Structure 1
Amino acid sequence: MVAFYALVHKDDDSAFGVSFPDLPNVFSAADDEDTVVANAIEALELWAEDQPIPVPSTLESLRERKDVREALEEGAFLVRVPLVEHEGRVVRANVTFEAGLLRAIDETARRRGISRAAFLASAARKALGT
């Protein structure tokens, strides 16, 4: 899976700002730290819909960049943001679960009015973003 590093900036009186050193036109923001990566994933996915995807820089090469070093010195921090590409096609998968866990998944999906597959896809997207 392709992933890009993002710089997260936070001033005392502002939301979290997210920028991608490899992708100068991609930005995101989040009101709290728990949603930084999820919002960054969404920004990255939206950008990738219309752009060729470059090879991401390594963590080591980013740390050598003057602009990244300066941002880190000013209090920013780096997070790894996975790019989950939407191919537009659905693939069937056979998975195995412990019976009690599967029952809990089905009950939760039913309460939410969604299918088991939709619930599992949602949970996977959430897990990839943390």
Structure 2
Amino acid sequence: MAYYVAIIEEAGPDLAVGVWFPDLPGCTSAGDDIDEALRNAPDALQLYAEGVASEGRSLPAPRTFTELKADPEVADDLDTYMVALVELRARAHAAE
């Protein structure tokens, strides 16, 4: 299984908590609190992967935390926000 680094942003008590993936531009998730946002993140990751596959493309390999820290476009966000690893689960297909 692949694990992607997710960045979790809390915008305030009356706003949703956002989750985004530095390796997957446009792949986001949210929830009313951190727990809900993290529960929703694997579904967002799966839907993103399915969309990429339907376009005939492959997902980029997930970078390690160390590799992301070396990326100046991501390093400040890693220092500022919470970080989690989210698993890209293989979706079970029904037998035909």
What one-letter code is carried by the residue in structure 2 that aligns with 1:59? F
What one-letter code is carried by the residue in structure 1 that aligns with 2:25? P
Unaligned runs of 5+ in 1: 91-130
Q: Between Structure 1 and Structure 2, which shows a larger proportion of strand residues?
A: 2
- Quote the residue 2:81 is aligned against: 76
- Quote the residue 1:67 is aligned against: 73
Identity of aligned residues (%): 35
TM-score w.r.t. structure 2 length? Answer: 0.81
Aligned with residue 86 of structure 1, among 66, 82, 91 = 91
C-alpha displacement of 1:86: 1.2
The higher-RCO structure (CA 8 Å, 6+ apart) is 2
In 2, distance between residues paired with 1:63 and 1:89? 40
Unaligned runs of 5+ in 2: 53-57
In 2, distance between residues paired with 1:62 and 1:32? 25
Q: Between Structure 1 and Structure 2, which shows a larger proportion of helix residues?
A: 1
Select the structure of larger CA radius of gyration: 1
- Pairwise CA RMSD: 1.6
- List aligned pairs for 1:47-62, cutoff 5 A: 47-51=48-52, 52-62=58-68
Runs (4+) of structure 1 moved beyond 2 Å?
none
TM-score w.r.t. structure 1 length? Answer: 0.62
